[in-house]
Amino acid sequence: MSNFSGSKYAVFGLTTCVIALLSLLANLNPPLHGDEPTPAGEDSSPAVETTINFSRDISPILSENCFSCHGFDEASREADLRLDTFAGATGEDGGTAGIVPNDPNASELVARILSDDADMLMPPPDSGRKLSAKQVQLLTTWVSQGAQYSKHWSFTPPERLMPPKVKGVEHPIDRFIVSRLAQEKKSPTQRADSHTLIRRLSLDLSGLPPSVAEIEQFEIDAAADFDAAYSQLVDKLLASPHYGERWGRWWLDQARYADSNGYSIDGPRQIWSYRDWVVNALNNDMPFDQFTVEQLAGDLLPDPTQQQKIATGFHRNTQINQEGGIDREQFRVDSVFDRVATTGTVWLGLSVGCAQCHDHKFDPISQVEYYRMFAFLNDQDEPSMKVYGPNVDVELLKQDFERAKSQLQDMVDQSENVDAVSAWAEGIDAKEKEKLGKRTAQALDKKPSDRTLDHKRSLFKAAGDAIDEKTREEFERLEKQFNDADAKLNRTATTLVMKERDEPRKTMLLIKGDFTRPDKEVSPGTLSVLHPFEISSDRANRMDLARWIVSPENPLTARVIVNRIWLHYFGRGIVESENDFGLQGSVPTHPELLDWLANRFVDGGWSMKDMHRLIVTSHTYQQSSVNHDERFDPGNYYLTRQQRLRLDAEIVRDVALSASALLAPDLGGPPVYPPIPDGVMGQGQVKRGWNTSKGKDRYRRGLYTFKFRATPPPSLNVFDAPDGLSTCTRRNRSNTPLQALTLMNDPAFFEFATSLEKVIKRDGLITAFRRCTSRTPTEEELNVLIKMDTLNAARTLLNLDETITRE
């Protein structure tokens, strides 16, 4: 662009050209229906002459176009033809034969996809589906090559392979990426600047931007020895407790965590102990297999600890309908449906939930198997559990409590004390009584014989001088003991947990998923298309399910999880459909890399921190996100560059808090109530209170904001924070005018701006700019800001695209 002439004629020429193009494009309909672009476009498909790879080339076409009528689901199968197995397609199973291997001319399938006759053509024109010429050619070639089927790629174990050798490239991830790029005659972009890297790393690993001092130090260290400085920074960030907050949110999205019961009544609930459990587990780098077992079945571990029980809150993050007139069983069953679907999506990357009403139309999951999975999650009671503080010995505490209680009882019942109190009580007039407070007044109103210990205690306290000093001191001491024990024992937080029933429920297959239409009974079991299931006792339970999921033989879980970690770093997974690794899912862009990472994850003891370290130390991760060549691979599937990503909702807040020097970095505890605009809580059926937090709780990280499912906090909602209604494995990244209004005008953001203004006044514009973006502004940029009053300059900084983006 540097040698562009700048002639106005050139501009006119260009304008005309663009207008012509626009009018041409205006005729293209928006994609209302699912004919979505394939990853990396048509060019990534092999030339038709080469050998066909069933999984990559054929299966997606069949699944998309044929399986809804000729697939796994027998009930909706047409013409007795199934095309999802070799035996079915060739008629070996006794059904209609659609394919004669090696003989396309004799194959009905080929005749039908080539037909000119609308009545014969497949897929039928009225289905809205149509094969492209290339797809027709692929299918025909495949038939002529013998129509070989292979098991869907994700149902076979990850392949054991070494990263390809690439000259001058060491990091295993880079070797996969660079060797694939080399096929396109492309190479990666250069490494990003140090200030970009430290901001990228800090936001990705801790969700907080680096301080100016940290940036400066890193720039110096990196100039001296980049690798050492970088790896030190990675270690520091992974060791920071904020790592658990940042990646905890990643998991909490999948766990559909929120602080209320959902549905229309949406009462508040306490389950934040589960949130803290997740954050701590990640900070301690709990291996992912253990992380899984504790959440799915922590209560079934031998002598489970309180923490392991808290972990089972994962599946208590379902909604509870408190509406009047409902059939509770209906909504309990709904919550089990949600648990089955969530388990399938989160750990298996499969849309298991699709088999709730009928056999899965695309993946080999029968409705019976669905209810076998359902049976694991149908055998629980759903209690609330008290959560005691760390190092609390509950038995000892109970003893302390009872002792203090009985000593207090003795004291208030001692005859001289009783006399003293009643003498005092008789001398109280109405005016004095009013001053004593409600509780004491109530106690006074009771007949002495009806007074409880609580009544007697408050009178004892109120009587003051009427009781001798020594007794009073002794009373105070006992009161303190009693109150302390009472608080720790009885007024402690609670959390929702799973508890296995002594008598399992009968699980029946439900016709069309309707709980009023039970069919035959089924026993717990897993999906037969995957690895074998072993049970440890007579009746399989959640523990067996959890162990089956984390079995090293499971072909899916490790792939699904590393893919979902990868997705956070590049904005897209190696498998783009991060929640669907089934036949309808996308084909991996780098299948070998995915398998290598999955094996490494399991071999490395399921360490998530190890996986993070591995990814962020690759050049692929460290590349600049500047887009120099959009003609090639506009969607960046090959990763010739990093990707600018708008920050997650909570982190938009965290960055603004941090930049404006307001952030209260405290970890954990009950959710908080930062200021929200008036009238928001009236949006639900029941108007919920929002007692705005005072002091530092106004400035806690977005992770800790109380989240009502029906009326989520607007400034988080507007930036696509999930609502906790169902599992979210990938957030949307919208870009809307309401976001602009929030950043410009929301009272909370305005407050942040007034604080950032102080930073400007104290430390200057350049420092404020760096607090927001981690880089030094150019002179031109500074000129824009200098012309503004300081408050408006602060607002501008918080509104920059760059401030809310990880570059």
Partner 1 sequence: MTSFQNKHDQLQSELLKRQTRRHFFSRCQMGIGSMALGSLMADRAMAAPAMSENPMQPKPSHFPAKAKNVIFLFMAGGPTQLETFEHKPELNKRSGQPIPQSFIEGKRFAFMDSSHRTNLLGATQKFKQYGSNGAWVSDLLPHTGKIIDELTLVKTCKTDLFNHAPAKFFMNTGSGQFGRPSMGSWVTYGLGSECDDLPGFLVLQSGPRGPRGGATLWNSGVLPTSYQGVPLRNQGDPILNLSTPESISPEQQKHLVDAVKELNLKRLVETGDQEIATRINAYELAYKMQSSAPKLMDTSDESAETLDLYGIKDPNEASYARNCLLARRLVQRGVRFIQLYHTNWDHHGGPTENLQEHLPKICKEIDQASSALILDLKRRGMLEDTIVIWGGEFGRTPMGEVRENTGRNHHIDAFTMWFAGGGFKPGTIYGETDEFGFAPVENPVHVRDIHATLLHQLGLDHEKLSVRFQGLDFRLTGVEPAHVVKDLLA
Angle, alpha carbons 654-655-657 (nearest 5°): 65
Q: Is 499 helix (H, G, I), strand (E, B) or coil?
A: strand
| Least gap, CB of 217 to partner 1 (angstroms) | 25
| Least gap, CB of 579 to partner 1 (angstroms) | 5
| Least gap, CB of 163 to partner 1 (angstroms) | 26
| Least gap, CB of 181 to partner 1 (angstroms) | 18
What DSSP designation does 630 have?
Answer: T
Scan for tokens 């006794």, then name that residue. Answer: 94
| Least gap, CB of 749 to partner 1 (angstroms) | 9
| Least gap, CB of 755 to partner 1 (angstroms) | 14
What DSSP designation does 339 have?
Answer: H
Nearer to partner 1, 156 or 516 (CB): 516
Contact in structure between 367 and 513 (CB atoms under 8 Å): no
| Least gap, CB of 692 to partner 1 (angstroms) | 16
Nearer to partner 1, 178 or 804 (CB): 804
Nearer to partner 1, 195 or 572 (CB): 572
| Least gap, CB of 560 to partner 1 (angstroms) | 13
Torsion sign across C-alpha atoms 565, 570, 571, 576: negative
Scan for tokens 């993946």, then name that residue. Answer: 363
Distances in Å between the Cα of 773 and the Cα atoms of 144, 195, 203, 216 are 58, 9, 11, 13
Nearer to partner 1, 417 or 715 (CB): 715
Two tokens at 105? 């001319």
| Least gap, CB of 795 to partner 1 (angstroms) | 5
Q: Which long-range contacts (CB under 8 A, 24 or more apart) does 586-589 make?
A: 586/39, 587/39, 587/55, 587/56, 587/60, 587/153, 588/153, 589/39, 589/40, 589/637, 589/638
Q: Cα(710)–Cα(682) distance, rounded to whole angstroms?
A: 10
Torsion sign across C-alpha atoms 171, 174, 178, 180: positive
Two tokens at 177? 């990426």
| Least gap, CB of 353 to partner 1 (angstroms) | 8
Residue 656's nearest CA partner among 742, 764, 551 is: 742
Contact in structure between 520 and 513 (CB atoms under 8 Å): no
Nearer to partner 1, 394 or 740 (CB): 740
Contact in structure between 571 and 731 (CB atoms under 8 Å): no
Residue 676's nearest CA partner among 667, 688, 666 is: 688
Write the DSSP string, 508-570: EEEGGG-TT-EEEEE-----TTSS----SSSS--HHHHHHHHT-TT-SSHHHHHHHHHHHHHH
Nearer to partner 1, 201 or 748 (CB): 748
Nearer to partner 1, 174 or 266 (CB): 266
| Least gap, CB of 169 to partner 1 (angstroms) | 25
Residue 574's nearest CA partner among 552, 597, 553 is: 597
Nearer to partner 1, 459 or 657 (CB): 657
Nearer to partner 1, 324 or 464 (CB): 324
| Least gap, CB of 650 to partner 1 (angstroms) | 16
- Segment holding 770, helix H or strand E: helix 765-773
Nearer to partner 1, 322 or 483 (CB): 322
Q: Cα(311)–Cα(322) distance, rounded to whole angstroms?
A: 24
Q: Cα(151)–Cα(481) distance, rounded to whole angstroms?
A: 67
Exposed e or buried b per residue across 101-140, where buried means at least 16 C-beta atoms within 10 angstroms of its C-beta = beebeebbbbeebeeeeeeebbbeeeeebebeeebeebbb
- Rounded to 10°, the helix 241-254/608-616 angle is 100
Nearer to partner 1, 665 or 684 (CB): 684
Two tokens at 92? 């070996």
| Least gap, CB of 643 to partner 1 (angstroms) | 9
| Least gap, CB of 689 to partner 1 (angstroms) | 15
Nearer to partner 1, 265 or 436 (CB): 265
Nearer to partner 1, 231 or 754 (CB): 754
Contact in structure between 708 and 260 (CB atoms under 8 Å): yes
Nearer to partner 1, 206 or 584 (CB): 584
| Least gap, CB of 356 to partner 1 (angstroms) | 11
Q: Is 260 helix (H, G, I), strand (E, B) or coil?
A: strand
**Is the peptide bond preceding residue 123 cis, with omega within 30 degrees of 0?**
yes
Nearer to partner 1, 5 or 536 (CB): 5
Two tokens at 473? 């001191």
